[in-house]
Amino acid sequence: MHNHHTDMPPFKRLLVDILMASIFILLAGFALWLLWITFFRATFDTGLVSSSDQTALEQIATGAGISREHFHNVDQAVLEGAESISLCLKCHGNYPHSKAPDVRAFLNAHAFFTACETCHIRPTESDHIVYKWLNKKTGMELSRLEGKPGSYGAMIVPIKVAEDGIGRRLDESADKAFIEEYLSLRATFNADQQAEAKVRIHKEISQKPIFCDECHTKNGLLNFRSLLYSPVVANRLETGEVASMITKYSKFYLPTMFDPASRTRGRRNTP
């Protein structure tokens, strides 16, 4: 048989070789598939997440501990909102506020559609900062708001306009390379080195963030009409039910990244 094979014309022999190789690949594939369904195929997804070896921060970053099903049904808006390109959220998680029981959930709701720097960079008098809705994926400015409240596929981003008229997104750190390097190496840093790095990372962040009533008021920091809200909604955000509700919030906590020891420091927002 093999001698017969050698007598074939080269083209025919090539065809036979290709056929033989194909059969071999098919059989090998079949064998691998057989092994997979016998020993490796996932059977029943029990939803068990082994998170005992993870720190709380890692659990947040990997999504461990998040229940797969929510009683009131989690929809795409929650999943899309949690997908953020923000460098801040790589450490602070998608729900970064946790200390002030009165407001933490509301602040986290804002984090889905507001860049961290909107509240955590307080403009000085000399700064010229404009706030715009920028598409989360393309970075393009929105011309109108479409979708459910807060779920416009965009974020309110502070833009610092220089004297020459060129704007810089404040949510894009000039120190991005350093931050990413720190994130990959932080496990090897001691406490002092980490503290030093954190000071550099947060150098643009204001120690005293902007509080609710500084935006949700007439002539506040944000001009809701310029941010494409209808006059009715803008009024509601400035003086209506939202504004009247936030006057009840009394306790806020300042970020502790600058001074990790003073974790209990707070501020009374209303006298």
Partner 1 sequence: MKTKHTARDITVALFLLTAFLTLFIPAAAMAVDDENCLMCHKYAGLGRYAKNEEQKAVKRIFYVNEELFKASYHGKLRCKNCHTGVEEIPHTDVKNVDCATDCHLNDPSTGRAFSHKSIVNDLRKSAHGPDGTKKPDLIKDLPKCKDCHTNKPYQIGIGKELKSMQFIKVCLECHESEAWTNRFYKHMFYRAQTRRSSKQVVALCSKCHADKEKMDRHEVDVVIGFKDTFHGKAIVYGDEDVANCLNCHAPYQLGFSPHRIISHTDSSSPVHPDNKLRDCRQSGCHADAQEAFANKGKAHPSNVMTERVDEDGVTIYQEEQEFQAWVIEMIALFYKILIIAVVGGLGFHRLADLYATHRERKIALRAAKLGRHTS
- For the chain, the farthest-separated pair of C-alpha atoms sits apart, in whole angstroms, at 101
| Residue 53 binding partner 1, by CB under 8 A | no
| Residue 104 binding partner 1, by CB under 8 A | yes
Q: How far is the CB of 113 from partner 1 (least distance, A)?
A: 7
- 114 beta partners: 156
- Judged by CB under 8 A, the residue of 86, 90, 91, 95 near partner 1 is 95
User: Whose structure tokens read 């080195």?
Assistant: 193
| Residue 199 binding partner 1, by CB under 8 A | no
Coil vs helix vs strand at 69: coil
**CA-based nearest residue to 209, from 97, 74, 91:** 97
Q: How many residues does the chain have?
A: 271
The DSSP secondary-structure symbol of 230 reads -
Is-contact 269 251, C-beta < 8 A? yes
Q: How far is the CB of 2 from partner 1 (least distance, A)?
A: 4
**CA-based nearest residue to 99, from 107, 110, 109:** 107
| Residue 60 binding partner 1, by CB under 8 A | yes
Site map 231..260 versus partner 1, x via CB under 8 A? ----------xx--x--xx-----------
The DSSP secondary-structure symbol of 114 reads B
Give the nearer residue to partner 1 in terms of CB position, either 199 or 245: 245
Q: How far is the CB of 134 from partner 1 (least distance, A)?
A: 17
How far apart, in whole angstroms, are the C-alpha atoms of residue 253 and residue 208? 10
- Judged by CB under 8 A, the residue of 44, 163, 264, 268 near partner 1 is 44
| Residue 36 binding partner 1, by CB under 8 A | no
| Residue 65 binding partner 1, by CB under 8 A | yes
C-alpha torsion sign, points 267, 157, 221, 143: negative
| Residue 74 binding partner 1, by CB under 8 A | yes
Is-contact 156 227, C-beta < 8 A? yes
- Judged by CB under 8 A, the residue of 91, 132, 142, 150 near partner 1 is 150
Query: What is the phi/psi pair of residue 250, to 5°?
Result: -115, -30
Coil vs helix vs strand at 267: strand
- Judged by CB under 8 A, the residue of 105, 140, 185, 199 near partner 1 is 105
- Judged by CB under 8 A, the residue of 56, 85, 161, 199 near partner 1 is 56
Binding positions for partner 1, rule: CB under 8 A: 2-3, 5-6, 20, 23-24, 27-28, 31, 34-35, 38-39, 41, 43-48, 51, 56, 59-60, 64-67, 69-75, 77-78, 80-81, 93-95, 97-98, 101-106, 108-113, 148-151, 241-242, 245, 248-249
